[in-house]
A and B are shown apart, each in its own frame.
Chain A
Amino acid sequence: MDFSDTPQEAEFRAEAKAFLAANAKLRPQGSDAYRSRAFNHEDVRRSKEWQATKAKAGFAGFHWPKKYGGREGSQMQAIIFAQEEEKYIVPPGIFNQGVGMALPTIMSCGTPAQAERYARPALFGEEVWCQLFSEPAAGTDLAGLRTKAEKRGDEWVVNGQKVWTSNAHFSQFAMLVARSDSEVPKHQGLTFFILDMATPGVEVRRIKQISGTSNFCEVFLSDVRIPDANRLGAVGEGWKVAMTMLANERFAVAQAEGPDLDDILQLAKLVQLDGKAAIEDSAVREKLVTWYCQAQGLKYTRLRMQTALSRGKTPGPEASIGKLVSATKLQEIAAFGIDLLGQAGAVMDGELAPYNAWFQNALLYAPGKRIAGGTDEVLRNIIAERVLKMPPELRVDKGMPFNKIPTGAR
């Protein structure tokens, strides 16, 4: 075991450090803003600018082909760069859906002309992408989606509703999956498209979440016309494309961010219980230690996966552990932080509540972390089926034409 970089990794890290030092400001200790908020136009502008700076210097698209502006490097380089970038004040990342997922999918499932058209503008921060996947009645069971695509001449006409789309309100393009055939079993009737979000009939509405902020959108599609040239992959093979795309997502699914062990530890030192710091209380200690062990366990599980990566192996469904554990931990830490404050835990005023009401804020976004990118329950199924090789769930709609599948009221 050895935590140091290989000579090649060390060389790359030095390059990354030099680039960041020349182009960004170091993040001072303890300067977290604490509360998350929705991105505004200025965030988007700065993000695009930063993406362009990185791409021009060769610090984006680490495993992309050189002909599209990539580095033809390794996944390890992406990890090392992210580790270093984290130490700097940089604009929020809005390119994961495009650079991390959409474009790699277009490169492997699309035509050369499509890759040629879309790759560079995405990599250089000119065009932002979003994903039009989930629907009000199709989340976990994505293949049950109902948005309809009908072929008319050289065009497709799309009608339906998508939901939980991050960044839709400032995206230029979307990866869209829709149903092109309702008379075949659900996985066989899907087709993928590249959608220009400026097309008439595309209407984006912000969703107001339980916290009151709006990080997601719903997207209504009414008689939206998409040229057949923007179809991605063959008609009816949309599920295959979706799987390619989600395979790219699996490694990208980050841990749930928010107040963590260090923060609750600080709070437990700050808050007095029965005339002593809360940290002296054995019930408090028990909780903190549980989260410490989880946090450390996740950190070293990640390092084990990175080791596999640096040896050229592909991380498997084991990566689900990170999100499964961290989302619940986040919710528990947020709730416990509020408990520690007693009656004052109810105060959400940033001026009055410790750490700009970070714990209260996290309590209100944590439920989303347990749902987005695979619910806790789906992740457990993935671990059970793909890691432990247990039998798949019964599917009563298996082999049934889509239009014969029973539907509920929701």
Chain B
Amino acid sequence: MNFEFSDDVTSMREEVNRFLNEQLPTGAVRQQVETGDMLDRDLWSKIAEMGWLGAAIPEAFGGVELGYEALCMIAEEIGRALPSVPFGSSIYLAAQAILLFGSQAQKEIYLPQLAAGSVIGTFALAEGAGDPSAQAVRAQVAGGKLSGTKLPVFDGLAADLAIVAAQTGAGEPGLYIIDLNGPGVARRAVESLDLGRKAAVIEFDGAPAEILPLAADWSAVAGLLDRAAILFAFEQVGGAQKALTMALNYAQERYAFGRPIAALQAIKHKLADIYVLTELARSNAYFGAWALDTNAAELPAAAAAARLSANEAFFEAAKENIQIHGGMGFTWDSDCHLFYRRAKQIAGNIGSARYWRNRLIDRLLTQNENIEAA
């Protein structure tokens, strides 16, 4: 039995970790935000050169085919370091959608570009408040042209192409590839909770739409979200671990009443609880990585559990990190709020906790009935 990352992935982690530490000293993300850059293009091209974007893309389509374990590990490190790059939008969502549902020709065209970072992708599903559902999709494709409004589209201004969910006129919504630099697309940035992953509103008015032929019905969208949930869960675990470490370091250095506040039991127990939440989330994410890697039947339940545990761990860690930093943590100049903001944005970026709870319970009931029937 081996329930750890492979030795290859573990040694690659050191490399990834070192690189991100060099590229992103503490505060770098905040400075970037202050200068108004939407995207760290320099970092993005370096990440592409190192093969991170193509980690789970087959060599035949321009990837490096390191596998999903490697992608999960990279996701965790990215979650820890918080770079302003559209990694999740482009890789977990757009590239995955094309890989899963695209034609051979589409894979040959788009995947090498996404793996090389020359094209940035995103996923446009939401149309305002509410959780993912077939009924909530009002955008429509008629005669090969897309019309409708998507809000929010994460990394929507940085992206070159979007995978858009839209009604086909027959049955359930399908998925379409849209060139965001092409005609019929109007987009603008909207102020977002997460400073490093800004959202956009995109209006489509007769934009040429190319269908992903294998996304036959809503279950395709749900399946795409499941897979992305596992990868985002690793980002969340990385973020939770970082917030815990920040809180721990601060508590060790900050003295009150003649001793470090880390000696106070209220602080010790708070951080012990966050450690427990983070470890449970990590373990659930690991199982998700296994499910992703083996395309196991357990994937939907594993994804929902990974997502829900990671939501809780990251938000709790980010929230209490501010609390432990006291007034300092409440200032713009501390990094605490970057994690706090991301924790909340990421927890809703592919459906709220409610969506995932229902998805999980429905899976459990189905599994249960299968067991009873057997």
Residues of A within 8 A of B (CB): 1-6, 9, 265, 269, 279, 282, 285-286, 288-290, 292-294, 296-301, 303-304, 306-308, 310, 318, 321, 324-325, 377, 379-381, 383-385, 387-388, 390-394
**Residues B305 and A296 in contact, CB atoms below 8 Å apart:** yes
Stretch at the interface among B37-45, B187-195, B280-288: B280-288
**Residues B272 and A388 in contact, CB atoms below 8 Å apart:** yes
**How many residues on chain B are close to A (CB under 8 Å)?**
46
A390 — which chain B residues lie within 8 A by C-beta? 248, 251-252, 262-263, 267-268, 271
A134–B229 CA distance with the chains assembled, in angstroms: 47
A286 — which chain B residues lie within 8 A by C-beta? 357
Residues of B within 8 A of A (CB): 1-6, 69, 248, 251-252, 259-260, 262-263, 265, 267-269, 271-273, 275-276, 279-281, 283-284, 286-287, 289-290, 293, 304-305, 308-309, 312, 354, 357-358, 360-361, 364-365, 368
**Residues B1 and A301 in contact, CB atoms below 8 Å apart:** no
B69 — which chain A residues lie within 8 A by C-beta? 1
Residue of B nearest to A5 (CB): B1
20 more CB-based (< 8 A) A-B contacts, given A304-B3, A306-B1: A1-B289, A3-B290, A5-B1, A279-B365, A289-B304, A289-B361, A293-B312, A296-B305, A298-B280, A301-B279, A301-B280, A304-B4, A306-B3, A307-B3, A380-B269, A384-B269, A388-B248, A388-B271, A391-B262, A392-B263
**Residues B284 and A296 in contact, CB atoms below 8 Å apart:** yes
**Residues B262 and A292 in contact, CB atoms below 8 Å apart:** no
B248 — which chain A residues lie within 8 A by C-beta? 388, 390
Q: Which of B259, B290, B304 has a CB less than 8 Å from the CB of A1?
A: B290
B267 — which chain A residues lie within 8 A by C-beta? 390
A300 — which chain B residues lie within 8 A by C-beta? 3, 283-284, 286-287
**Residues B280 and A297 in contact, CB atoms below 8 Å apart:** yes
Residue of A nearest to B302 (CB): A296
- Within the complex, the shortest CB–CB distance from B351 to chain A, in Å, comes to 14
A308–B364 CA distance with the chains assembled, in angstroms: 30
**Residues A1 and B3 in contact, CB atoms below 8 Å apart:** yes
A380-B273, A384-B268 known; A391+B263 contact, CB < 8 A: yes
**Residues B279 and A318 in contact, CB atoms below 8 Å apart:** yes
**Residues B268 and A385 in contact, CB atoms below 8 Å apart:** yes
**Residues A304 and B361 in contact, CB atoms below 8 Å apart:** no
A377 — which chain B residues lie within 8 A by C-beta? 269
**Residues B265 and A393 in contact, CB atoms below 8 Å apart:** yes
Residue of A nearest to B260 (CB): A391
Residue of B nearest to A387 (CB): B275
A383–B304 CA distance with the chains assembled, in angstroms: 27
**Residues B4 and A380 in contact, CB atoms below 8 Å apart:** no
Interface CB pairs A-B, < 8 A, 25: A1-B69, A1-B293, A269-B365, A279-B365, A288-B364, A289-B360, A292-B360, A293-B280, A293-B305, A294-B280, A296-B287, A297-B280, A300-B3, A300-B287, A301-B279, A301-B283, A304-B3, A377-B269, A379-B272, A381-B265, A383-B276, A384-B268, A387-B275, A390-B248, A390-B251
A289 — which chain B residues lie within 8 A by C-beta? 304, 308, 357, 360-361
A279 — which chain B residues lie within 8 A by C-beta? 361, 365
B357 — which chain A residues lie within 8 A by C-beta? 282, 285-286, 289
Of B284, B293, B304, B309, chain A has the most CB atoms within 10 Å of the CB of B284
A379–B268 CA distance with the chains assembled, in angstroms: 11
**Residues B283 and A2 in contact, CB atoms below 8 Å apart:** no
A303 — which chain B residues lie within 8 A by C-beta? 1, 3, 283
B271 — which chain A residues lie within 8 A by C-beta? 384, 388, 390
